[in-house]
Amino acid sequence: MPDDRNGGSARRERIIDGGPEANPGGPRRPLPEAVRQRVVETAAEVLGALPGDEVPAPLRRFARFERRKRAKLAGPHIAALLEKDDAFRQRVAGALRDAHADLVTAVESGAVPPAADPVQVAVLGYLLRPDGWTDLVEAARAELERSASASEGEAAERRLAALREELAAARSARSAELEKVRAELRDTKAEVAELRRKLHDARTKYRAAQDRADALAAEADRELQAAREQSGASEKELRRLRARVTAAEAAAETAKRAAREGRNVDDVRLRMLLDTLMDAARGVGRELALPSTIGRPADTVGGVEPGLEHRALPGRALSDADPQLLDRLLTLPRVHLIVDGYNVTKTGYGELPLSDQRRRLLSGLGGLAAQTRAEVTCVFDGAELEGPVATGAPRGVRVLFSDPGRTADELIGELVRAEPDGRAVVVVSSDREVADAARRAGARPVPSPLLLRRLARA
């Protein structure tokens, strides 16, 4: 789908600013941004207070939205309608006439107080359209540009003063560092002199140690020669002792063999006696018809076995902030996990574009569905879409967008109410209204950070 947002924005700006396409008699330059934004916000606030039959048809689907959301989503439509629908513009101006009666009278009479807010005066001029209203808009533009220039000059002066302070601090630090380096150089020279003295002492000790080592080596050679001579005599004695040990081992092996033969006869007799006793015991048991197992005293005490009277819901005793809550709930059989899509993504990674937010969340939910075998439904607000999107849902994940004019919160409520009584339903959302509605419908609400932590672990 071609993206015409830039071109559309330019056309809307020319329409609301009274450019040549919408009002040939108006200013040829666009309204200042502050004036344009104030006009749209004022019209959005008035739109919410109008009776249903007085709301213009193009804006009826936005009338139920919250004021800030209405100004954001319905801004282009409000701008276009202000230019082509004089009745709607007069309704908006009428609301300002009640709220700022004195200022409205001054604007219509051409005697604007010098202390009046130029932006508010320009808004009233645009909506009321008195003679010379374009001059009011240009006066507001000039005042805004003058304020911006003054702010830039003050910022430059503050920056210059900060740079001067930094330069003075740098010079002071440089002097201190230079003095520190000179002190370190003096200490280093003294340390080098000390090391040279120690090196001289070490060389003297090394020569003395070398002379002693040579004397010890000569003495060791003499002792080695004596040890070799003594080793020859020891080897002769060792060979004689080995011959005596071999003869003793042969005699011991003969004695062990004789003892083993006597022991084998005793083992055979003992085994035969044990088999006879076991056969006799089994025969007595069959004769007396004894049971194969004997009960324990505790088996006779009555009580309710776990699971026969009631079943505890996993996670019921855990708080909403407990990290084990979601893991316990996902162990329920045939659990249905309903996710408030944008509430989760804007909590975890709201800095990404909406398409990247949806792709990242659905990828994580696909892995979670494969691990837990749970039924997973992810709901997104259709009003956030800029046009039709192609969303590839992972296997095991159902993706739904709310219809125009409905919010994702309403769609989540319908999904919860559609489930039969007794089925485990878990709703993931940090929106208090969604959580309260889910709890009233019998579902278990879970905050969005727990799902984000579970997906990060996976």
Q: Going residue by residue through the chain (458 aa), what tens digit of pLDDT does each one get?
A: 444 444 444 444 444 444 433 344 444 577 777 777 777 777 777 766 677 666 776 776 776 676 676 767 766 777 676 777 777 777 777 777 777 777 777 777 777 777 677 777 777 777 777 877 777 777 778 877 788 777 766 777 788 888 888 888 888 899 899 999 999 999 999 999 999 999 999 999 999 999 999 999 998 988 898 888 888 888 888 888 888 888 888 888 877 776 666 666 566 556 666 766 776 776 677 667 666 555 444 333 333 333 333 334 455 667 777 888 898 999 888 899 999 999 999 999 999 999 999 999 999 999 999 999 999 999 998 866 665 665 678 899 999 999 888 899 999 999 999 999 888 999 999 999 999 999 999 999 999 999 999 999 86
How far apart CA 81 and CA 89 sit, in angstroms, is 8
Q: Which residues contact 215 (CB under 8 A, 6 or more apart)?
A: none
Contact present, 329 and 335 (Cβ < 8 Å): yes
Tell me, what's the pLDDT at 20? 38
Instruction: Give the model's pLDDT for residue 193.
Output: 93
Place of tokens 């993206």: 3
Could you tell me which residues come within 8 angstroms of residue 134 by beta carbon, excluding any fewer than 6 positions away? 18, 26, 27, 125
In a domain, 112, yes or no: yes
Q: Does 229 map to a domain?
A: no
Q: What is the pLDDT of residue 138?
A: 79
Q: Is residue 218 part of a domain?
A: no
Give 151: exposed, middle or buried? Use CB within 10 Å, 0-12, 13-18, 19+: exposed
Decide which of 91, 109, 131 is a domain's last residue. Answer: 131
Tokens of 451: 């799902």
The CATH number of whichever domain residue 445 belongs to comes to 3.40.50
**Interior angle at CA 292, CA 290 and CA 298, nearest 5:** 100
Q: Which residues contact 66 (CB under 8 A, 6 or more apart)?
A: none
Q: How far is residue 177's CA from residue 185's CA, in Å, rounded to a whole number?
A: 12
User: Has residue 194 been placed in a domain?
Assistant: no
- Residue 171 forms part of a structural domain: no
| Predicted local distance difference test score (pLDDT) of residue 74 | 67
> 290-312 burial string, b = 16+ CB within 10 Å, else e?
eeeeeeeeeeeeeeeeeeeeeee
User: Of 98, 114, 131, which closes a domain?
Assistant: 131
Output the CA–CA distances (angstroms, integers) from residue 65 to 70, 95, 201, 397, 434, in the order listed: 5, 19, 92, 29, 16
Residue 344 lies in a domain: yes
Number of domains in the chain: 2
The distance of Cα 329 from the centroid of its chain, to the nearest Å, equals 20
Give one word for 130, left, alpha or beta, with left for phi > 0 and alpha for psi -120 to 50: beta
Residue 227 lies in a domain: no
Cβ contact 95:42 at 8 Å: yes
Asked if 11 and 21 count as a contact pair (C-beta separation under 8 A), the reply is yes
Q: Burial code of 222-235, b = ≥16 C-beta within 10 A, e = fewer?
A: eeeeeeeeeeeeee
Do residues 16 and 100 make contact, with C-beta atoms less than 8 angstroms apart?
Answer: no
Among 101, 131, 161, where does a domain finish?
Answer: 131
Q: Looking up tokens 């005042």, which residue turns up? A: 143
Residue 79 lies in a domain: yes
Give the SS3 label for residue 302. Answer: coil
What are the CA-CA distances from residue 428 to residues 203, 356, 359, 379 (Å)?
79, 20, 18, 10
Q: Which domain holds residue 48?
A: 5-131
pTM, entire model:
0.35
